[in-house]
Structure 1
Amino acid sequence: MKRLLLNCDMGESFGAWTMGDDEAAIVHVDQANLACGFHASDPVTMARTVALAARHGVSIGAHPAYPDLVGFGRRHMACAAHEIQAIVMYQVGALQAFCRAHGTQVDYVKPHGALYNDMARDDAVFGAVLRACASLGGLPLMTGACADNARERSLAQAAGVPLLFEAFADRAYRNGGEMVPRSVAGAVHHDPERIFAQGLAIARGEAFDGLDGEPVRLEAHTLCVHGDNAESLAVVARLRRALEAL
Structure 2
Amino acid sequence: MKKHSVDLNSDMGEGFGAWQIGDGVDEDIMPFISSANIATGFHAGDPNIMARTVQLAKQAGVGVGAHPGFRDLVGFGRRTITESPQALVNDIIFQLGALREFARLYNVSVQHVKPHGALYMLAARDEDLSRLLIETLQRLDPTLLLYCMEASVTYRIARELGQPVIREFYADRDYDRSGSIVFTRRVGRLDADQVAAKVLRACVEGRVATVDGDDIAIDFDSVCIHSDTPGALKLVESTRALLTRHDIRVAAPLPARVH
When normalised by structure 2's length, the TM-score is: 0.87
Q: C-alpha root-mean-square deviation of aligned residues, in Å?
A: 1.8
Q: Runs in 1 of length 4+ with deviation above 6 angstroms? A: none
Shift of 1:6: 0.4
CA contact (8 A) 2:6 2:223 kept: yes
Aligned residue pair count: 241
Q: CA deviation at 1:234?
A: 0.9
Matched AA of 2:31? V
Q: Which has the higher contact order (CA 8 A, sep 6+)?
A: 2
In structure 1, the residue corresponding to 2:93 is in which secondary structure?
A: helix
Superposed CA offset, 1:90-127 (max 9, x none): 10000000000111011110000011000111101211
Identity %: 36
| 1:154–1:176 Cα change, 3 Å | closer
Within the alignment, does 1:239 sit opposite 2:239 as a pair?
A: yes
1:33–1:62 contact (8 Å) kept in structure 2: yes
Residue of structure 2 equivalent to 1:121 = 125
Find the residue that maps to 1:40 and give its secondary structure: coil
> Which of 38, 44, 48 does residue 44 from structure 1 map onto?
48
Alpha-carbon deviations, 1:162-197, whole Å to 9, x = none?
A: 1110010000011121211216x9x76622232112
Question: What one-letter code is carried by the residue in structure 2 that aligns with 1:140?
Answer: L
The AA in structure 1 aligned to 2:190 is: H
Shift of 1:211: 1.2
The aligned counterpart of 1:170 is 172
Tell me, yes or no, if structure 1 residue 66 matches structure 2 residue 46.
no
The yes-or-no answer on 1:3 pairing with 2:8 is no
Cα distance change, pair 134–189 in 1 and its aligned pair in 2 (3 A): farther
Partners of 1:11 and 1:41 within 8 A in 2: yes
Structure-2 separation of matches of 1:30 and 1:89: 24
> Contact 1:167/1:224 (CA < 8 Å) preserved in 2?
yes
Unaligned runs of 5+ in 2: 249-259
How far has the Cα of 1:50 moved from its partner? Answer: 0.4
Given candidates 120, 143, 147, the residue that maps to 2:148 is: 143
Note if contact 1:8-1:224 (Cα within 8 Å) is conserved in structure 2. Answer: yes
Whether 2:17 is the aligned partner of 1:15: answer yes
SS in 2 for 1:133: helix
1:4 aligns to what SS in structure 2?
A: strand
Counterpart in 2 of 1:155? Answer: 157
Contact 2:206 2:219 in 1 (8 A): no
- Which sections of structure 1, spanning at least 5 residues, go unmatched? none
Q: 1:110 aligns with which of 114, 118, 143?
A: 114
**Aligned equivalent of 1:201:** 201
Q: Distance in 2 between matches of 1:132 and 1:194?
A: 39
Amino acid at match of 1:145: E
In 2: Cα distance, 1:153 partner to 1:229 partner: 25
Q: CA deviation at 1:207?
A: 2.1
Distance 1:223 1:181 in 2: 17
Q: Which amino acid aligns with 2:176?
A: R
Q: Cα offset for 1:75?
A: 0.6
Say which is worse superposed, 61-70 or 156-165, in terms of deviation: 156-165
Amino acid corresponding to residue 120 of structure 1 in structure 2: A
Amino acid at match of 1:4: V
Q: Is contact 2:65–2:112 with CA below 8 Å preserved after alignment?
A: yes
Instruction: Determine the C-alpha separation between the residues in 1 that align with 2:108 and 2:197.
Output: 34
Q: Is the 8 A contact 1:84 1:128 kept in 2?
A: no
Which residue pairs with 1:96 in the alignment?
Answer: 100
Q: Which residue is 1:79 aligned to?
A: 83
Task: State the distance in 1 between where 2:173 and 2:132 align.
Answer: 26
Moved more, 38-47 or 209-218: 209-218
Give the SS at the match of 1:6: strand
